[in-house]
Homo-oligomer: A and B are copies of this chain.
Amino acid sequence: MRILGVDPGLTRCGVGIIDSLADRSVRLVNVTVITTDKDLELPMRLLQLQKELALLIDEFQPARIAVERVFAQHNLRTVMGTAQASAVAFVEAASRGIPVDLHTPSEVKASVTGTGRANKVQVASMVGRLLILPEGKLLPDATDALALAICNAWRGGPVTTSPGALTPAQQRWREAERQAKKRG
């Protein structure tokens, strides 16, 4: 199943697209950070974001869209832009009949690293291992968008088969999780 994750933002909006396979392994399909020009007026920035997001959705045809749940209590300075960017993603999804799931940051961290208190580096490290990415190549917004997509792929819970029955991809995940926990 193809999942598109959105880390909503007006200045930088991360978009990560993965395929989730039957063995729960995940594969990178595309990742990008949509940026809008701070010198443009707000309506033009949102329109630019809407157009680029629409192109990505139409090109990669995700079955689900996962968006970070934004809380008004946090980051008052940026919450308006974040809320507005997420609204654009919601409308693009809903107008195409694509289901949207919201995930909190701690839900994403817990899903990807095993702990809701993981820091950015731990999350980035796990995302890199799970998707077999070259190290240090991704912007934080890109990593967060991919983590959201992975969280969504695994939203039914972690792999529960016995260790002996693990596929290579599952073993890789378990090992990466163990490494991340050791670091934390």
In chain A, positions 2-27 with a C-beta closer than 8 Å to chain B are none
Chain A contributes a number of interface residues (CB within 8 A of B) equal to 27
Considering the complex, give the chain B residue whose CB is closest to the CB of A79.
Answer: B72
CA–CA, A42 to B102, complex, Å?
A: 10
Interface of A is mostly: helix
Chain B residue at smallest Cβ distance from A67: B43
With A80-B70, A100-B43 given, is the CB distance from A91 to B90 under 8 Å? Answer: no
Most buried by B among A46, A77, A100: A46
List chain A positions with a Cβ less than 8 A from chain B: 41-44, 46-47, 50, 70, 72-73, 76-77, 79-80, 83-88, 90-91, 93-95, 100, 102
